[in-house]
Amino acid sequence: MRVVLAPMEGVADASMRQLLSSCGGYDWCVTEFIRVTDVALPDKVFYKYCPELHEQGLIAGHTPVRVQLLGQHPGPMAENAVRAIELGSHGLDLNFGCPSNTVTGSCGGASMLKAPQSIFDVVSEVRKAVPKQHIVSAKIRLGWENKEDCFDIVQAVQEAGANELTIHARTKLDGYKAPAHWHYIKQVKQQFSIPIIANGEVWNRENYLQCKEASDCEDVMIGRGALTIPNLAKVVRGDEEPLHWSAVIELLIRYSQHEITSEKAKYYQSRVKQWLRYLSGYYTEADDLFRNIRVLKDTNSIVKQIRFQQCKD
């Protein structure tokens, strides 16, 4: 089996990728999407979203990172894909699943699910431009509204020459509402030969086994579940139990130490509170900690509360 860390806009940036991958179990991670319009992006944009490119595209020397691009114009997408590969990305991923209204309102992401030909045009142009030894992958949803559209969409991706495909087993209009419709992935696998990675509603080992059975798909991409149980990659593999709260506190402290000294320091308070909300889905202690810090406006006070939890534990 292969386990992949999902791209999560505004959440899974380089510091979070480093933290989660340090728990082990990932075959590779995918960056937050880089928006492509009609121009060649400067290198600084790639380095901003994927600073791991300075380190041969690896996290801590071992976990590969794949740049993800989002856009609807085949030529610029291909040009920027080539540059991402030249800078050291381990393959190139194409986003056709982002449900954000901002993104879909400008004809990107999940809006392209309504027109499989537009997906074909982008994937084929990128595949022709990127050297064959490098993987070109795509990430989709089942459709915009109709789940049955997934077959035309997958056909477009496969015929365009992509090497593999991640399917988030919901439509755009489903958003992130449970359940994920894993059985559609099984139907896709019965009709198409492109390797598939399942995505959606995998929060624990039991969910993974249910997904595997329903989708007939061993490979899985995990997203929000990894924010809830930081070592989820190892958990779904059956290698570990979820981390003890004391180990999670250590991760929170490491995260805090990095964030408050980084260029994103002004976002630390909202980001750490956001992560605690995810963690509270499994750890009751996280909910208690969130309640203690949610009204705090001072970074030092928040860090002090986290350290106090460490002492209590």
Residue 18 is assigned to a ligand binding site:
no
**Catalytic annotation on 29?**
no
Q: What does the alpha-carbon distance between residue 194 and residue 176 come to, in Å, rounded to a whole number?
A: 25
The secondary element (H helix, E strand) that includes residue 196 is strand 196-199
For the record, the structure tokens of 245 come out as 């709260």
Distance CA 182, CA 264 (A): 37
Return d(Cα 128, Cα 122) in angstroms, integer. 10
DSSP characters for 246-308?
HHHHHHHHHHHHHHTTSTTGGGHHHHHHHHHHHHTTT-HHHHHHHHHHTT---HHHHHHHHHH
Element (H, E) at 198: strand 196-199
Measured distance CA(35)–CA(14) in Å, rounded: 17
Answer yes or no: is 223 a known binding residue. yes
Q: Would you say 307 is a known binding-site residue?
A: no
Torsion sign across C-alpha atoms 238, 185, 28, 33:
negative
| Backbone conformation region of residue 279, classed left if phi is above 0, alpha if psi is from -120 to 50, else beta | alpha
Of 50, 98, 150, 217, catalytic:
98
Residue 170 is labelled as binding a ligand: no
Return the number of other C-beta atoms located less than 10 Å from residue 73's C-beta: 19
168 is in an annotated binding site: yes
Contact 169, 181 (CB under 8 A): yes
Angle between helices 299-312 and 284-293 (to 10 degrees): 150
Tell me if 68 is assigned to a ligand binding site: yes
Find all residues with CB under 8 Å of 156, minimum gap 6, and list them: 116, 117, 119, 120, 123
Distance between CA atoms of 29 and 66, rounded to whole angstroms? 6
Numbered residues of the known binding site: 68, 139, 168, 199-201, 223-224
Residues flagged as binding site for FMN: 68, 139, 168, 199-201, 223-224
List active site positions: 98
